Amino acid sequence: MDALTGAPIREQARLKGAFLGAWSAIACTSLTDDEADGVSHLRRGLEAAVRGGNDTDTVAAIAGALLGAQYGASAVPEEWRLILHGWPGRRGEDLIAMALRMHSDYGPARG
């Protein structure tokens, strides 16, 4: 199996568990009928991902990617966006600019 995937079976199992943990956190905190946007669902989903235990940073990263893809960056609570940072000295605005550059350079083929 390692030769086929390039990843040790233990690492595959860890990531599968993290994905299932993220999916569970999202599904157990689904958007309610009285919510107009995904702000509450994103917050509850990420909180559930972190509180689920085990590899919480990986689980929350996966849950955040899935919830962010669904609801967009505007669903991230403002107080979280204000403290967002990346690799040394990078702020939220820098990360957005980097993502836009990557999409422009490596995004879906046009034609």
Q: Could you report the per-residue pLDDT of 47-99, keeping only the tens digit for each?
A: 999 999 889 999 999 999 999 999 998 899 889 888 877 778 888 888 889 88
Q: At what angle do helices 9-27 and 56-71 cross, to 10 degrees?
A: 50
51/110: higher pLDDT: 51
CB 59 within 8 A of CB 49: yes
pTM above 0.75, yes or no: no
- Whole-angstrom Cα distance, residue 50 to residue 59? 7
CB 43 within 8 A of CB 51: no
User: Three-class SS of residue 85?
Assistant: strand
Residue linked to tokens 């999409």 = 103
Domain-by-domain residue ranges, the chain? 2-76, 77-111
- Whole-angstrom Cα distance, residue 31 to residue 83? 25
- Over residues 6-31, mean pLDDT: 85
CB 83 within 8 A of CB 95: no
